[in-house]
Amino acid sequence: MIKGGLTGGIGSGKSTVACVLEQLGVPVYHADAEAKNILESEAVKPELIGKFGNEIITPEGKVDRKALSDRVFGNPEELAFLNGLIHPRVRSDFESWCRLNAGHPYIVQEAAILFESGFDFQLQNNPGSSYTTNVNLSFATLDYIYNDYVTVMGGDLLLPLGTYSERGAGWLNKIPDAPLPRSILPGNGIGMELRGAIPVGQTGQSLTYSAYSINGASSIDGSGNAGQLDLSNNVGPNNFHGGMGWGGRVAYFYPVKPHYDLELGLSGMSGSWVAGESYSAGVVDAALHLGSSIEVKGEYMNTWVGTSDLGTITPHGWWVQAGYKFSGLNLDLPFINSLELVGRYDTVNDGIGSKNERGTVGAVYYLTNTLWLEGDFEFTGSQGATQLPVNTMIFQLSYGF
């Protein structure tokens, strides 16, 4: 028996092709339709409610697929749980279906899209005598879903050094400014990545992993002097040193009950940044949810930078952030229920004499699930040559789509 795959985006014609194949006598397994049936099955629905709560169930007792997709969108751990719940059952059903159709020389599986792509960009106004606007590409990747546990990615990658780069869009992070110590880590790189999640047990626990190879860091002026490390993913003459960057992350996600979970991650990277000198980084990250209203997360990072003038220096820092949604009070006040208080402390030491720290307090108002109004006030303190702006107020309107 020859097994074929039929895939494509919305409107690409795969349903038409599947219909033609069936008219020619070729059995076609409709994986997407079967996944929806499994989602509504009594074997799966209790696990969905146990993980996501009754808010993903309609008054008629059906799974609210829109509410479920809104919940897992932007949350790799919850998406991994959902995939781990549905995909193995679809695969098992497909294998049973194959045995029932063993007498046919050809069978075809009409499946979800095997290739995914993603991109993001930022708009930034540049102050000066004449104002201009920059459009900056944050990432652009082509993803190939090899199976339930492995995805291959290529392009301009968001690096899983900690979690901030991948989950740091304004409408996900809730505070406009990035944490100070993220400046000592690269946010992205051009290369290839393997990543995935492996379900552990039957209670939603999972082990996530990633491994990548990228173009690596470079030098601003081509020298190996301290202060010249360039982590901005520039590709140019000063990056042509023949060195690559290698790294990865492993994390464990442990849900206790709906809306109560803990994630712990460990990640690292190493590679050349200029001929004869290396750059290495290690990051520990954690995220904790206590109910649907309380979130605490943070990272600690340490780097080792070989330099030609000062030897090895060790820029390092950490940050912790917390948020509280007033919807947890169950008040009959729509305005209050759409408000979340946020706060963060972050600090960074550049390894060559400067230390900066900052405290941030602010709020997020949820106009919709993906349209947020954010505002905060920052208290800063600086030592050494690198100085932060003194006490700043920031507002941002964020939209995710």
- One DSSP character per residue, 154-201 reads EEEEEP-SSSHHHH-SHHHHSSSSPPGGGGGS--EEEEEEEEEEEEET
DSSP string for residues in 71-95: HHTT-HHHHHHHHHHHHHHHHHHHH
Q: With contact defined as beta carbons under 8 Å apart, do 199 and 80 qualify?
A: yes
Q: How many CB atoms lie within 10 A of CB 256?
A: 12
H or E element, residue 297 = strand 294-307
Residues in contact with 67: Cβ distance below 8 Å, sequence separation at least 6, in sequence order: 55, 56
Q: CA 386 to CA 184: how far, in whole Å?
A: 14
- What is the Cα 48 distance to its own chain's centre? 22
- The residue that leads in pLDDT, 332 or 324, is 324
**Which pLDDT band, with edges at 50, 70 and 90, does 235 fall under?**
low
Segment of 8-17, 238-247, 309-318 carrying the highest mean pLDDT: 309-318
Q: CA 327 to CA 258: how far, in whole Å?
A: 16
Taking residues 371-398, report their average pLDDT. Answer: 87
pLDDT in the model for residue 115: 46
Tokens of 150: 């492995």
**Which pLDDT band, with edges at 50, 70 and 90, does 129 fall under?**
very low
Q: With contact defined as beta carbons under 8 Å apart, do 57 and 63 qualify?
A: yes
Strands of the 2-6 sheet, one edge to the other: 2-6, 106-110, 28-30
pLDDT in the model for residue 25: 87
Q: Could you give the C-alpha distances from 33 to 14, 73, 99, 310, 327, in angstroms and in order?
A: 13, 21, 19, 62, 35
pLDDT in the model for residue 143: 76
Instruction: Give the model confidence (pLDDT) of 264-307 as tens digits.
Output: 999 999 998 888 899 999 999 999 999 888 999 999 999 999 99
Pairing of strands 106-110, 28-30: parallel
Pairing of strands 316-325, 294-307: antiparallel
Q: Could you give the C-alpha distances from 301 to 227, 285, 286, 311, 388, in angstroms and in order?
A: 18, 9, 12, 20, 20
- The residue that leads in pLDDT, 212 or 71, is 212
**Residues across the chain:** 401
Domains of the chain with CATH codes = 2-110 (3.40.50.300), 115-327 (2.40.160)
Phi-psi region of 72 (alpha: psi -120 to 50; beta: other; left: phi over 0): alpha
Q: How many CB atoms lie within 10 A of CB 184?
A: 22
Q: Is the pLDDT of residue 346 over 70?
A: yes
